Amino acid sequence: VIGFQFHMESTEESIFSLIDHCAAEMVDGIYIQNEKQICSGMNFLKTANRLMEDFLDRMEAYYGEQE
């Protein structure tokens, strides 16, 4: 089992959809980011997506087609 502390699969589209559809849940809280905080991290999306793809490619290469 491997866990990551962020959503590596996020895209600009998915983030804007989250903001649009979950606005009521975005309340003040120590572990809840507001819209501005969420959007400020969008410059990391391409890197996160690349890391996810690399990780999955390596997992597939290592575990591949086992019987």
Per-residue confidence (pLDDT) for residue 30, from 0 to 100: 93
- Encode pLDDT of 1-60 as tens digits: 888 888 999 999 999 999 999 999 999 999 999 999 999 999 999 999 999 999 999 999
Per-residue confidence (pLDDT) for residue 65, from 0 to 100: 74
What 9-12 contacts at long range (C-beta under 8 Å, 24+ apart), as own/partner pairs, is 9/49, 9/52, 10/45, 10/48, 10/49, 11/45, 11/49, 12/42, 12/45
Per-residue confidence (pLDDT) for residue 67, from 0 to 100: 64
